[in-house]
A = this chain, B = another copy of it.
Amino acid sequence: MLNERNLKNLLYQEFARIGKSLSSPKRLEILDILSQGPKSVEALSKATTMSVANVSQHLQTLTNSRLVTFQKKGNYVIYELADVAISNFLTSLHNLSEKQFVQVQQIKEEFLNAHLGMDGITLSELKERLEKGEVVLLDVRPKEEYEKAHIPGAISIPIEELREKLSSLPTNYDVVAYCRGQYCLMSVEAVEILKNNGINAHRLENSVQDWHQFQDKSTGELK
């Protein structure tokens, strides 16, 4: 019988398929890593310090809830997020989580402190230094995201390619790296790589969206 109650049950069951996928910390970490770009099972296993079999199992539940897709490349199976929308959704989960739990904020700060010398930079500092031509702004997200939208003046070097392309960066400028926002760790990694190679680097913890809001606000004030 397909009455209203049953229809609702069906609908919420479908919604919950995604929720179930997001209910395991390990799966959330896998999704986060995949939001940096496609990865093999083995690579995910290393990055998360989980057994290969376990990662494989998690990837199957993620495949079932259509959050990831895969394709075989020779011996390897390469997984990736099924849609860019998923990356945005994860970001909003992070933000919501921070809003509800003070400890999330604290953990993040401890994490940044652990990465010594992770100097941040604010949006207004960035704007000022960009206008003076003092800094190079580096977008380390996957190319597609950069192409969709980026902070004006930014150049794109996805984190995966940063090590190879270091030479294309000027050494006499400071570099400011950014990615998707506070809980996006690609910019943290980027700053570390840059510093290890003698380039003075800062992390911008804001996202493209934050930048737009900042612009709207400051032009709004001028009126």
Q: CB within 8 Å of B: which residues of A?
A: 2-5, 7-26, 28-29, 32, 49, 65-67, 82-83, 85-86, 88-89, 92-97, 99-101, 103-104, 107-108, 110-111, 114, 183
Tell me, in angstroms, the Cα distance from A88 to B49 when the chains sit together. 34
Residues of B within 8 Å of A21, CB to CB, are: 19
Task: Classify the interface of chain A: helix, strand, loop or mixed.
Answer: helix
Known contacts: A7-B111, A83-B99. The answer to whether A28 contacts B19 by CB under 8 A is yes
Instruction: Chain B residues near A101: list those with CB within 8 A.
Output: 14, 17, 66
CA distance A49 to B93 in the complex (A): 29
The answer to whether B103 and A14 touch across the interface, beta carbons within 8 angstroms, is yes
Say whether, besides A11-B107, A93-B15, A114-B4, A67 and B29 are in contact (CB < 8 Å).
no
Report the bound CA distance from A25 to B15 in whole Å. 7
Q: In the complex the two chains form, what is the Cα distance from A29 to B12 in whole Å? A: 7
Give the chain B neighbours of A65 by CB distance below 8 A: 100
CB pair B8 A19 closer than 8 Å: no
Query: Shortest distance in angstroms between A66's beta carbon and chain B's nearest beta carbon?
Result: 4
Q: Is the CB–CB distance between A25 and B9 below 8 Å?
A: yes
The CA of A182 and the CA of B107, in the complex, are separated in Å by: 37
- Find chain B residues with CB under 8 A from A67 CB: 100
Provide the residues of chain B in CB contact with A8, threshold 8 Å: 29, 111
A23 smallest CB distance to B (angstroms): 4
Chain B residues with CB below 8 A from A88, complex form? 92
Give complex CA distance A18, B152 in Å.
34
- Contact status of A97 and B24, CB under 8 A, knowing A49-B5, A92-B92, A111-B7: no
Known: A3-B114, A8-B29, A22-B22. 18 other contacts (CB 8 A): A7-B107, A7-B110, A10-B103, A11-B104, A11-B107, A11-B183, A12-B26, A16-B22, A16-B25, A18-B100, A19-B19, A19-B24, A19-B28, A82-B100, A86-B96, A89-B93, A89-B96, A92-B92
